[in-house]
Chain A
Amino acid sequence: MEPGYYVVLAAVLFTIGAVGVLIRRNAIVLFMCIELMLNAGNLALVTFSRINGTLDGQIMAFFVMVVAAAEVVIGLAIIMSIFRTRRSASVDDANLLKY
């Protein structure tokens, strides 16, 4: 397989994730879109690792995964503490802060 296609796939996934973040309203779905973007980054890293012939990219993907896991835990904890009070995970309902 031509590895260039995987870069294109990664770019497409990243774009889907970014568009999702911009148009969706549920905090959890938003968060899943961000995860999609991170994983698109991972795919690109691993592909470039193959193209460049160095293993660095694969190790970097490990780091991204681990950091993403830490981010998931903290993010879900914040989303859940809001949900427990408000019974809603919609980001449109989080509207106390504006001028």
Chain B
Amino acid sequence: MGGYLGSYATLGLLLAVGVLFFLVAMTANRLLRTNRPSAAKSTTYECGLDPVGGDWAQAQIRYYVYAYLYVLFAVEAVFLFPWAVIFDDPGFGMTAVVEMGIFVGVLALGLLYAWRKRVLQWT
């Protein structure tokens, strides 16, 4: 097997073997095993206990606050990447560093506020 298409033929062969292996294994399993479904078997598996109540449960309110903080900080970080590309180019230097410092400082201000308001305590 050589040439441009040849390398794809190897890949194709590998894929075919993979699919075949999966099919043979699962079919063999299906043919050999016993099959007796019951209502108890098709309930949701929950650590061996019977599930109680509905599937809508409320999470602790703390989770939301953390999620909010995370969303803000994760997304604000998007500005760091273009900045990192150019900040050591000629003509930027100190100015760019100071500007990013102000930007991060404003973000840190929010975190400081959250900390002082005891939003970050997990109890």
Contact = CB atoms under 8 A, between A and B. Distances in A.
> A and B: partners?
yes
A77 B68 contact: yes
Contacts of A73: 68, 71-72
Contact of B68 (A65, A68, A76, A84): A76
The dominant DSSP class at the A interface is helix
Given A76-B64, A76-B68, A80-B64, A69 B75 contact: yes
Nearest to B79: A62
Interface residues of B, number: 11
A51 interface: no
The dominant DSSP class at the B interface is helix
B77 to A, nearest CB: 9
A9 interface: no
Interface string B75-94: 11011001000000000000
Contact of A66 (B61, B64, B75): B75
Interface residues of A, number: 13
Interface of A: 59, 62, 65-66, 68-70, 72-73, 76-77, 80, 84
Interface of B: 61, 64, 68, 71-72, 74-76, 78-79, 82
